Amino acid sequence: MRKNTCMLTIVLMFLVAMSLWGCANNGAKKDLNVQRSGMVSIKATVDAVDLKTRMVTLRASNGQTFKVYAGKEVVNLPQVKVGDVVVARYSEALAVRMAKPGEVRDETSQEMGRAKPGSKPGAYEVNETTVSAKILDIDKPRKTVTLKLPDGDVETVRVKNPANLEKVEVGDTIVITYQEALAVSLEEAKK
């Protein structure tokens, strides 16, 4: 199930990249090289910590409160105090390029880490998926491209910037790499 969700996410991210990337029409065919990334940072203040139920009540900058369950993997929960600030940083990166001759990719990797016992609570997770997709059809009047993914799924995506279609041809294989990362850390309470 996660793999299908990743594939759909990759296809959607490809659509966004092809739509937003402002390539000029003067690039040579077979020279597709799209790269984009973004990061969002969110801060919330700890309003309450229930060590027995492991529920942490957080207050966002807009004043809205919400509860988060801190699982057993949060080894340093007793260090979290009312007034502490939790910072979550989420980033995404996407790269789309022409595949090398015969290159077929269908890979997913995950890296996770957490704070050592006794240090400030924190954790990170990085997921990266790289797939190749064969271009089955390009419909310039409709501004769409149809892709065949490694698992056999076929997806048609709409492209808002048709200049990008000048860089590819039916039969080309592209490689899409999508990476997402989440890091959560705890800041000291303001005094």
Token pair for 141:
């009047």
Q: How does strand 55-60 pair with strand 65-69?
A: antiparallel
136 closest CA partner among 106, 105, 157, 164: 157
pLDDT at 4: 45
- Residue 7, pLDDT > 60, answer no
Report the SS3 class of residue 111.
strand
CA distance linking residue 62 with residue 49, whole number of Å: 20
pTM of the model: 0.67
pLDDT at position 186 over 70: yes
Element (H, E) at 18: helix 2-20
What mean pLDDT, rounded, does the chain reach? 82
Helix (H, G, I), strand (E, B) or coil at 85: strand
Mean pLDDT to the nearest integer, 19-48: 70
Per-residue confidence band for 29, with pLDDT thresholds at 50, 70 and 90: low
Residue 51: the pLDDT is: 94
